[in-house]
Structure 1
Amino acid sequence: MTTGYTDGRRARGQQRYQLVLDAALDLVSRDGLPALTTRALAAVAGVSLASITYHFPTRADLVYATCAEAVHRDIASTRAILDELRRDFDLRTATPAELADRWLQVSTAPARGMMSVFSLWLEVVRQPDLAPLVVQWNNDTRDLVAAALTEAGASQPISAAKVLCAALDGLRLPTVAFPDATPTRADRDDLALLFSWALGRS
């Protein structure tokens, strides 16, 4: 039988779990996955080591949960970017330059925490069970972009989405080393060319 006490304890446990995950993402965003240890995380999160090991018995469990959360947030961020584009423009008539400008404004913000996501690629070599997360990340992001390209009238939305996603990841990569980096005019022009190719319009 569930009681108010049980519900309250479960809610506190979930809050602590989320607090630890938030701290793990902050730690990885700052110092990369190699820095993610239970002791370092306990210090950053301000909780006991026992609290960390209760939720994540092994470092592999901790790394998996952190990467899964990073992927979940990145996919949610991509969805939010596309929703913002839909609010700002009619995708059927927006110019490639307009789309490129707006995408770069919202997708390369420092708050996106790209270290967490790109670290995942490197960790897969050491922890192969992370591979499904990479597949999920790629497929879900591609499908979101393809859906927007379909709305915009692209003739080959899936293929165009794959190319665009690869290019957009490349544009975001410098923010790992230079969090305050801003897109250049050349970045904007290159992305506009890709949107022009994907949509078949100038």
Structure 2
Amino acid sequence: MARRHDPGRRQRIIDAAIRVVGAKGIAGLSHRSVAAEADVPLGSTTYHFASLDELMVAALRQANEGFAEVLAAHPALSDPAADLAGALARVLGEWLGGEGVELEYELYLAALRRPPLRPVAAEWAEAVAALLSRRTDPVTARALVALMDGICLQVLLTGAQYDEEYAREVLGRVIDAGRGRGPGRPAGERDPADAR
């Protein structure tokens, strides 16, 4: 019997892996559970992904694309007059209120025990920092990524309510510090030297 050509099978397997992790967590992820979810033969999952780590790398890479795409499309990244701290705080709130954020962080945190996932986690941080570097210097951009990551983790791990105003304030402080403004000036307040 001839093998049926199925060019979308690899993508369906990745999508199925993301659904499995969303429903059962990392512990529920196996080639067998993914094959069942994707409605493909077990051999298809091992053909496209020789190891579970390879499958998780593909799933994490796909899950990571969402936040970067939302951020890249935000007009505040290309408008130097826009309130960057306020825009980032809003994007974080929308992201945390959307679907799939827990899944993304579960895959992201899996890198703690699965070294093959670490480069993908680093790719995410580098991609977001590169986007933020359109409005700030690279060091400040990396600090903003770390701060946003920390805020998201605190909300997700503690069940605390996301506080957009707090996020705007602390993000503004990092941005202002990157511009050479001391911590004593309120976030968002322009430095008189900027008018020169």
> Given that residues 38 and 52 in structure 1 are in contact (C-alpha distance below 8 angstroms), is that contact kept between their aligned partners in structure 2?
yes
- Are the structure 2 counterparts of residues 188 and 90 from structure 1 closer, same or farther at C-alpha, using a change threshold of 3 Å? same
1:81 aligned onto 2:61: no
Q: SS in structure 2 opposite 1:57? A: coil
Deviation of the 1:192 alpha carbon = 3.5
Residue 124 of structure 2 aligns to which amino acid in structure 1? W
Paired position in structure 2 for 1:57: 50
Residue 186 of structure 1, aligned match among 158, 166, 185: 166
Deviation of the 1:18 alpha carbon = 1.0
Q: SS in structure 1 opposite 2:99? A: helix
Deviation of the 1:169 alpha carbon = 0.7
1:45 aligned onto 2:33: no
Paired position in structure 1 for 2:193: none
CA distance, structure 2, for counterparts of residue 137 and residue 25 of structure 1: 17
CA distance, structure 1, for counterparts of residue 124 and residue 16 of structure 2: 21
- Which structure: greater helix fraction? 1
CA distance, structure 1, for counterparts of residue 177 and residue 71 of structure 2: 20
Q: SS in structure 2 opposite 1:27? A: helix
Which consecutive unaligned segments of at least 5 residues does structure 2 have?
182-187, 190-196
CA distance, structure 1, for counterparts of residue 88 and residue 50 of structure 2: 44
1:134 aligned onto 2:116: no
Identity among equivalent positions (%) equals: 22
- Are the structure 2 counterparts of residues 101 and 69 from structure 1 closer, same or farther at C-alpha, using a change threshold of 3 Å? closer
**TM-score, normalised via structure 1 length:** 0.70
> Given that residues 111 and 121 in structure 2 are in contact (C-alpha distance below 8 angstroms), is that contact kept between their aligned partners in structure 1?
no
> Given that residues 53 and 116 in structure 2 are in contact (C-alpha distance below 8 angstroms), is that contact kept between their aligned partners in structure 1?
no
Residue 165 of structure 1, aligned match among 145, 154, 159: 145
CA RMSD of aligned residues (A): 3.3
Which consecutive unaligned segments of at least 5 residues does structure 1 have?
1-5
1:146 aligned onto 2:133: yes
Which of 189-198 and 177-186 deviates more? 177-186
- Are the structure 2 counterparts of residues 43 and 90 from structure 1 closer, same or farther at C-alpha, using a change threshold of 3 Å? closer
> Given that residues 23 and 41 in structure 1 are in contact (C-alpha distance below 8 angstroms), is that contact kept between their aligned partners in structure 2?
yes
Paired position in structure 1 for 2:63: 70
Residue 197 of structure 1, aligned match among 168, 177, 187: 177
Paired position in structure 2 for 1:3: none
Deviation of the 1:111 alpha carbon = 2.5
